[in-house]
Amino acid sequence: MSKAKAQIVPVILSGGSGSRLWPKSRHTYPKQLHRLFGNATMLQHTVNRVQHLETPIVVCNNDQRFMVAEQLSHVCKTAPDIILEPLARNTAPAIAVAAMHALQKYPNPILVVLAADHLIKDMGAFHTALNHAVAAAEQNKLVTFGVVPTKPETGYGYVQAAQGGAEAGSSVERFVEKPNLETAQQYLAAGNFTWNSGMFVFKAQEFLNELSKQGAGWLNSCELALQSAENDLDFIRLSYKDFEQCENISVDFAVMEKTANAWMVPLNAGWSDLGSWEALWESSDKDENGNAVYGDAFVKNCENSLVHSATRLVAAVGLKDIAIIDSDDALLVVDRNSTQDVKAIVDWLKAEKRNEYLHHREVHRPWGSIDSIDTGDRYQVKRIEVKPGASLSLQMHHHRAEHWVVVKGTAMVQRGEEEFLVSENESMYIPLGEKHRLSNPGKVPLHLIEIRSGGYLEEDDITRFQDNYGRVAQ
């Protein structure tokens, strides 16, 4: 009797913040949720390249859950399982919880662990490497993809294989940290070193067995966090008190660098982790002068530069090796050779307690979005979009009144015990302290202008009484 073939389950890790791609990537709206290539986000590209496998398991954090769910709904054939980490504990606990969850659904699953923010241009080469990795995983190997290096890169860790160039892979001699330039040149010349991609393939049970063998005493906390998880709408919310006890450790340190069963399959598929604006420039299509241009931009007498405009015209003249990144509330101008240092800007913003490291001017909500247009003394002006059929919470404010003007679509407004249908070019006033709710009963997006007035105008002045998205405090 033939042995049942294992299901192959993608596990997509979508918890990173991508701080080196600031100001495009921010804590609540990181790079994997942006369209950096084509008409799909990086998360959607990741799902699309494994559509032939089982429905993915996605691990993300609480702040990004609704954006992740919405983006997945556009590309997944069936609804994926979305596991919410209550706090960051690096990749090893995240993968361990996903492995335990997969074993609850499938008898003998093989996991394909992917980062949500990687670029892979050659799908054929990726699928060939994936087939080799699955074949090795079936033999109880713990497989990592080693990216065939194109230059002596100092920004990546490396994997040394016992045998270089074998398409089906080779056992791993060792993992090495990010080298200096001279060492990276030696690795490139040796021929059996590849970049550590951070993507893995292994049996779920084999991975957990190896974790236990390597002394991961925190595995029990992962199991308890999953056992005590709550189903919150379409999300699996891990127990905070249990998951907090897990060690903050990467899968490389926890398993891959210690196991005797590590296997490396080479990957030559136009891979990039898009970890910096320099990496985006390298991966982009360029004009005859080596310039990569995105959005509304004018470029003259420039060489080897990157211009990325989000909302307005950007003009660049006479520049060389410069990256210009324009967003709705911040402008970055940086030498391409220094883009790894952009993280220092984010660190400064955090230290100064400025919101630019957290949010964009436009903030996404499960029901739509809010764009802050103007702020002054005792007033704010915001542009609000509400999705068809969506509704904000039933709420009240202690310090502000609101005036809504509908510019597109039709709004259903609950004010106190009354309901009003508000059409284009009509308005509604919400006094301070009045219970109210805004809904879109139509089939097209609702756009309106909100004018706030009062002594305190921040988002935390809100008391929710009822909410479709589970945001009412219990």
- The model's pLDDT over 329-343, given as tens digits with 9 standing for 90+, comes to 999 999 999 998 999
H-helix or E-strand containing 384?
Answer: strand 379-386
Q: How confident is the model at residue 33 (pLDDT cuts 50, 70, 90)?
A: very high
381-421 pLDDT per residue, tens:
999 999 999 999 999 999 999 999 999 999 999 999 999 99
Is residue 412 domain-shared with residue 426, that is, in the same domain? Answer: yes
Pick the residue with more confidence: 165 or 404?
404
Closest-CA residue to 58 (of 107, 9, 92): 9
pLDDT at 166: 82
pLDDT at 234: 87
Cβ atoms within 10 A of the Cβ of 444, count? 11
pLDDT at 39: 86
Query: Is residue 474, in this structure, part of any structural domain at all?
Result: no
Is residue 253 domain-shared with residue 281, that is, in the same domain? Answer: no
Is residue 288 domain-shared with residue 238, that is, in the same domain? Answer: no
Query: Is residue 418, in this structure, part of any structural domain at all?
Result: yes
pLDDT at 387: 96
Is residue 31 domain-shared with residue 60, that is, in the same domain? Answer: yes
H-helix or E-strand containing 253?
Answer: none
Is residue 264 domain-shared with residue 282, that is, in the same domain? Answer: no
Query: Is residue 214, in this structure, part of any structural domain at all?
Result: yes
Measured CA to CA in angstroms, residue 250 lies from 113, 198, 255 at distances of: 13, 10, 8
Structural domain ending residue among the three candidates 272, 300, 327: 272
Query: Looking at residue 64, what DSSP letter applies?
Result: G
Q: How confident is the model at residue 108 (pLDDT cuts 50, 70, 90)?
A: confident
Is residue 189 domain-shared with residue 223, that is, in the same domain? Answer: yes
Structural domain that includes position 290: 277-345
How far is it between the farthest Cα atoms of the chain? Answer: 77
Closest-CA residue to 139 (of 54, 262, 251): 262
Is residue 313 domain-shared with residue 334, that is, in the same domain? Answer: yes
Is residue 204 domain-shared with residue 324, that is, in the same domain? Answer: no
What single string gives the DSSP state of each residue in 260-317? TTEEEEEE-S-EE---SHHHHHHHS---TTS-EEESSEEEES-BS-EEEESSS-EEEE
> Which percentage of the chain shows pLDDT scores above 90?
87
Is residue 41 domain-shared with residue 117, that is, in the same domain? Answer: yes
Is residue 330 domain-shared with residue 399, that is, in the same domain? Answer: no
Is residue 309 domain-shared with residue 400, that is, in the same domain? Answer: no
The mean-pLDDT minimum among 12-16, 17-21, 28-32, 40-44 falls in 17-21
pLDDT at 4: 63
Region 8-21: mean pLDDT is: 91
pLDDT at 471: 77
Q: How confident is the model at residue 310 (pLDDT cuts 50, 70, 90)?
A: confident
pLDDT tops 80 at residue 188: yes
99 neighbors 113 (Cβ within 8 angstroms): no
Cβ partners under 8 Å of residue 199, min gap 6: 112, 113, 114, 115, 118, 144, 145, 267
* HSE-up of residue 434 (Cα within 13 Å, Cβ side): 17
pLDDT at 474: 43
Positive or negative torsion for Cα 448, 308, 122, 253: negative
The label of the residue with tokens 């050659």 reads 122
pLDDT tops 90 at residue 233: no
Burial class from Cβ neighbours inside 10 Å (0-12, 13-18, 19+) for residue 276 reads buried
Query: Is residue 72, in this structure, part of any structural domain at all?
Result: yes
pLDDT at 3: 57
Cα–Cα distance for residue pair 169/146, rounded to 1 Å:
9
Structural domain ending residue among the three candidates 217, 238, 272: 272
The first and second tokens of residue 260, run together, are 């005797």
Query: Is residue 234, in this structure, part of any structural domain at all?
Result: yes
Query: Is residue 355, in this structure, part of any structural domain at all?
Result: no
Query: Is residue 264, in this structure, part of any structural domain at all?
Result: yes
pLDDT tops 90 at residue 173: yes
pLDDT at 1: 41
What backbone torsions phi and psi does residue 424 show, to the nearest 5 degrees? -55, 140
Average pLDDT over the chain reads 94
3-state helix, strand, coil in the chain (%, to 5): 25, 35, 40
249-273 pLDDT per residue, tens:
999 999 999 999 999 999 999 999 9
Cα–Cα distance for residue pair 37/48, rounded to 1 Å:
13
pLDDT at 209: 96
H-helix or E-strand containing 240?
Answer: helix 240-243
Total structural domains within the chain: 3
The mean-pLDDT minimum among 36-40, 217-221, 434-438 falls in 36-40
Q: How confident is the model at residue 17 (pLDDT cuts 50, 70, 90)?
A: confident
CATH number at residue 25: 3.90.550.10
Structural domain ending residue among the three candidates 316, 345, 374: 345
Is residue 325 domain-shared with residue 215, that is, in the same domain? Answer: no
pLDDT at 2: 47
Query: Is residue 137, in this structure, part of any structural domain at all?
Result: yes
252-257 own/partner pairs: CB under 8 Å, 24+ apart = 252/91, 252/157, 252/175, 252/196, 253/92, 254/92, 254/211, 254/214, 254/216, 255/92, 255/142, 255/207, 255/210, 255/211, 255/214, 256/142, 256/144, 256/172, 256/175, 256/200, 257/174, 257/175
